[in-house]
Amino acid sequence: MKFNTKTIHGGQENTDPAYGSVMQPIYQTSTYSQTSPGQHKGFEYSRSGNPTRSGLEQALASIENGKHGLAFGSGLAAIDAVLKMLKPGDEVVSTSDLYGGTYRLFNSIFKGFGIKFHFVGMQDSEAIEKYINPKTKLIWAETPSNPLMNITDISALSEVAKKHKILLAVDNTFATAYLQKPLDLGADIVMHSATKYLGGHSDLVLGSLVVNDEKLAEQLYFIQKASGGIPGPMDCFLVLRGIKTLHLRMQRHSENGRAVAEFLKSHPKVENLYWPGLEDHPNHEIAKRQMKDFGGMVSFTTKGNSKQNAIRFVEKLKIFTLAESLGGVESLAGHPATMTHASIPKSEREKLGVVDSLIRLSVGIEDEEDLLKDLEQALA
């Protein structure tokens, strides 16, 4: 199957054994009857497995061209499961401009358990080798990164990981499998906050992992069951439904993202613009090589670098809603310094470019003309 067909049919049984339901039923149950101890139909207790979740996990694996999918109660619960494969003393090399919550999980939880993190810019994949030593077990990459849309060359990174026999995990939340397939490019683990584009309608919180390697999958399924960070069946159903239109939505997000980026680029009040589809984006060539299109996430700063102006701008927007999160059908605007990235110390943040005037847009799938008019009036 090709990608658009996979979003609808990938990993899905087309006959429900009970009633022939075309959609995956929501098995809202914690447990399953057994005819004799140990005699059951493959499910015993919903922490270790639930048919609605299995349907989603198979769909996730299918669209990422992977063999094994796992769903979690949130994106961070998925990352938490990956980090639980490590032991005290192990080291991780991670993208420096990272989703704030991932940074908090690494730095405030796992650092305390004796894991050492190196936060480095990964635009130059060779430069990361100096952070790798025999204790290094994992490279954690986010591309495009949040909120500065930096691009990491996944193939080049996977060569570094293979050379040193360490795992490469890629947070694919911003791109989704529609735009980029990290496993095909050599990554070992692909992670998603399905809360964003996979769900696509801002109505749930869920996370996922997809891997190819059998042993790695076993280890992660064990952690999923043993730690219990699982999603409920209703949310699994909603993500499964979201995935069925992923290709249509991502196509429109990318078209509108381009229109917004081009509009902002030519606007006299805009200073810096971050969107990997721009030819003068520092890693545009790599983005072009590893992504099908460039998506709907656009960040920018205004001239004068004033926090007050940035806050007034987001308050004035009418169609863009001022809110955390991204990837829904509706357009959202955020102020990273006070919202998504507030947990990163100001000095650290500014070193990365997350200055007080930075604004992040999640461009939705409304009419382009309405979105541009809204930005125009708020900038005015």
Catalytic residues, by residue number, are: 47, 99, 171, 196
Site residues (CB under 6 A) for ligand PLP, limited to 230-289: none
Task: Centre a 10 Å sphere on the Cβ of residue 167 and count the other Cβ atoms it contains.
Answer: 20
Distance separating alpha carbons of residues 322 and 314, to the nearest angstrom: 6
Binding mask 26-65 for ligand PLP (x = CB under 6 A): ----------------------------------------
> Looking at beta carbons only, is 205 or 363 nearer to ligand PLP?
205
Smaller CB distance to ligand PLP: residue 228 or 304?
A: 228
Kindly provide the b/e burial profile for residues 126-159, where b requires at least 16 CB atoms within 10 angstroms of the residue's own CB.
eebeebbeeebbbbbbbbbbbbbbbbbbbebbbe
**How many chain residues touch ligand PLP (CB under 6 A)?**
16
Among 50, 74, 136, 299, binds ligand PLP (CB under 6 A): 74
Would residue 74 be called left, alpha or beta, if left means φ above 0 and alpha means ψ between -120 and 50 degrees?
A: beta
Cβ proximity to ligand PLP, 110 vs 174, nearer residue = 174
Distances from the Cα of 246 to the Cαs of 103, 175, 202, 250, in angstroms?
A: 28, 11, 14, 6
Of 5-13, 74-82, 158-166, 285-293, the segment contacting ligand PLP by CB under 6 A is 74-82
Give the span between the Cα atoms of 1 and 349, in whole angstroms.
43
Q: What's the min distance (Å) between Cβ of 100 and ligand PLP?
A: 9
Handedness of CA 292, 67, 12, 173 (dihedral sign): negative
Closest CA relative to residue 332, chosen from 341, 319, 344, 345: 319
Residue with tokens 């997809």: 210
Q: Smallest distance, Å, CB 16 to ligand PLP?
A: 29
Angstrom CA distances, 315 to 162, 268, 321, stand at: 47, 20, 9
Cα–Cα dist 208/166, whole Å: 21
Contact flags string 88-107 toward ligand PLP, x per CB under 6 A: -----------x-xx-----
CA distances from 247 to 44, 192, 250, 266 (A): 35, 16, 5, 29
The reply to whether 197 sits near ligand PLP by the rule CB under 6 A is no
Q: Which is nearer to ligand PLP, 101 or 353 (CB)?
A: 101
- Member of 54, 173, 290, 302 binding ligand PLP (CB under 6 A): 173
Phi, psi dihedrals of residue 353, rounded to the nearest 5°? 105, 0
**Residue closer to ligand PLP (CB basis): 95 or 256:** 95
Minimum CB separation of residue 182 from ligand PLP in Å reads 13
The SS3 call for residue 305 is: coil
Instruction: Tell me: does residue 169 bind ligand PLP (CB under 6 A).
Output: no
| Alpha-carbon span 188 to 239, nearest angstrom | 23
Closest CB to ligand PLP among residues 62, 195: 195
Q: Does 224 bind ligand PLP (CB under 6 A)?
A: no
The one segment of 61-69, 177-185, 189-197, 269-277 that binds ligand PLP by CB under 6 A: 189-197
Residues 334-353, interacting with ligand PLP (CB under 6 A): none
Nearer CB in complex with ligand PLP: 193/302: 193
Q: Name the nearest CA neighbour of 215 among 68, 329, 316, 367.
A: 68
Of 62, 107, 195, 283, the one binding ligand PLP by CB under 6 A: 195
Residue among 207, 277, 295, 296 that touches ligand PLP (CB under 6 A):
207
Task: State how far Cα 135 lies from the chain centre.
Answer: 27
Q: Tell me which residues touch ligand PLP (CB under 6 A).
A: 74-76, 99, 101-102, 142, 146, 171, 173-174, 193, 195-196, 205, 207
